[in-house]
Structure 1
Amino acid sequence: MLVALDRFGREMGSHRVRPEIAEVSPSVLGGSLIDITLADGGDDDRLSLGARRIWETWYQGFPTTPDQWASLDTRGRAEWLDLVRPRPDGEPDRTGGTRHLDGRFITDKPGFYCALGEALIGPGRWFGRGLDDLDDCLGGRRGVVGPFTLIWHDADIARHALNFTLDHGGKLTYFEGVLRLLESRGVAVILR
């Protein structure tokens, strides 16, 4: 396991590596020592080259300003969500009040979850990456539970981006599924 630390020594994330022995040779140091050259085992779980920019951002410290993920493409946003995974100890839950969801950059599914995490519990925070996760998060121990009001600014951008069908009958879009789930968990959603 490769563990990445930020400049303060805090764990940013980890990545499973599977090195393979590429070469074994007598050591340049002599004696009975040997040198072993390792190579990446190469699997589909490998970080993309685009992830480097994300890791460099997080290396400076935990994100404190919103929308640092907004300029990333869909794969980059998904990789951003890999770093903002939930904390194992959970969050103290808050309820009530009004939260604002900035919809300007919700142009794909990962962008929705990046923006939602920021809106509900702050920059660099995780509130799911799919509907099952979102349902779990709204159930508690992730920082906020219903009832509360969510004002979704620029909602038409997300309505267009999340217009793919959720069910096999083709009647419910992902956007509509999100709205239904939020409302079922006591979230009053106001679209603007």
Structure 2
Amino acid sequence: MVADTERYDIVLGAGVRNEEGFFELPATPRFELFAGTTAAAASAGRCSAVDGLFRARMDPAPVPLELIGCEPAEPLLAALRRPRRSERDWAYLLVLDRHGAVMASRTVGLAITGARPSVLGGTLVDITLADGGHDRPSPAARPVWAQWHQGPPAEPHMWAPYDSQGRAEWLDLTTRDWRMPAPRPDRSGGEHHLDGRFVTDVPGLHCAMAEALLGPGRYFGREWNAFKDCLCGGFGVVPPFTLTWRDSEVARRAPADVVEDPLGRLSYFEEVVGLLEQSGVTVVLR
């Protein structure tokens, strides 16, 4: 604690990240803390010193990845014959549903540390990669992936039984085209109905919003900035239109402590409604 009783020392958990470019501090540095990450963020005060900002950190150790039952096609055989040549290469690991459509993708390094006949038999091989990458799905993804494996959802509210993590994984799968998708023709006008009974968190809000505007399993943003981009067009629907939000009080109460407004005046729900109205959407709350 500093000697000045008007000042406080604050510890921020996970408040520092590595950056590519480091620089020398000036002789008398000045730091200012902003409450938010946007240009409109409000100042939360000034700091006279910061400890831990320019401190070397070890990268996490790579975690191996097992590829079980690989077909020994020629590109894979070439990598197995000369693993050192391939260890700097990267590849897409595509997750397919039972119809062969891409559900998701992961980037993996081709540093191969082992290969052997597959436990599945036949001519298949099992391969160990030194590093499975940093964007591995969480355990919450398993039941969601199992459901989507049958094909994209055709019924509404299939995301509703999951918790916030599972709903976030659901939103990941709505962006299932691993390449840059072509802009969709936009339609405007008409009335859309949002069923708000299950909007108990931010991921649930975006699941319900996309379902109301485009149908089950579709994408219309997964967080504030992406949602704002979708309202500009290219994702299937564009204002003006009318959105009737039934059971809106559920969303008003549940994510009330989530605040996007840098001044802390509005909840996430209120900010979303305000953005819709600013974009030309007539919002009817019921």
TM-score by length of 2: 0.59
In structure 2, the residue matched to 1:67 is 157
Q: Is the 8 A contact 1:64 1:124 kept in 2?
A: yes
In structure 2, the residue matched to 1:115 is 208
Q: Is the 8 A contact 2:190 2:242 kept in 1?
A: yes
Cα separation, 1, equivalents of 2:176 and 2:170: 12
Q: Does 1:176 align with 2:176?
A: no
Q: Is the 8 A contact 2:113 2:130 kept in 1?
A: no
Cα separation, 1, equivalents of 2:193 and 2:202: 18
Q: Is the 8 A contact 1:19 1:38 kept in 2?
A: no
Q: Does 1:46 align with 2:151?
A: no
Matching residue within 77, 84, 87 for 2:167 = 77
| Counterparts of residues 27-42 of structure 1 (less than 5 Å) | 38-39=128-129, 41=131
CA offsets 1:78-117 (integer angstroms, 9 cap, x no match)? 0111110176112211111100001011111010111110
In structure 2, the residue matched to 1:167 is 261
Q: Percent identity?
A: 49
Three-state SS of the structure 2 residue aligned to 1:99 is strand
Count of aligned residue pairs for this structure pair: 184
Deviation at 1:53, TM superposition (A): 1.2
Q: Is the 8 A contact 1:152 1:190 kept in 2?
A: yes
Three-state SS of the structure 2 residue aligned to 1:149 is strand
In structure 1, the residue matched to 2:195 is 102
Cα separation, 2, equivalents of 1:40 and 1:81: 29
In structure 1, the residue matched to 2:148 is 58
Three-state SS of the structure 2 residue aligned to 1:16 is strand
In structure 1, the residue matched to 2:106 is 15
Matching residue within 204, 216, 233 for 1:140 = 233
Cα separation, 2, equivalents of 1:42 and 1:61: 26
In structure 2, the residue matched to 1:32 is none
Q: Is the 8 A contact 1:107 1:161 kept in 2?
A: yes
Q: Which has the larger radius of gyration?
A: 2
Cα separation, 2, equivalents of 1:5 and 1:138: 29
Three-state SS of the structure 1 residue aligned to 2:194 is strand
Q: Is the 8 A contact 1:165 1:174 kept in 2?
A: yes
Deviation at 1:165, TM superposition (A): 2.3
Q: Is the 8 A contact 1:86 1:126 kept in 2?
A: no
In structure 1, the residue matched to 2:37 is none
Q: Is the 8 A contact 1:99 1:150 kept in 2?
A: yes
Cα separation, 2, equivalents of 1:36 and 1:141: 42
Cα separation, 1, equivalents of 2:187 and 2:127: 52
In structure 2, the residue matched to 1:187 is 281
Cα separation, 1, equivalents of 2:126 and 2:223: 42
Q: Relative to structure 2, which stretch is displaced further, 84-93 or 120-129?
A: 84-93
Unaligned 5+ segments in structure 1 are 29-34
In structure 2, the residue matched to 1:150 is 243
In structure 2, the residue matched to 1:2 is 93
One-letter amino acid matched to 1:167: D
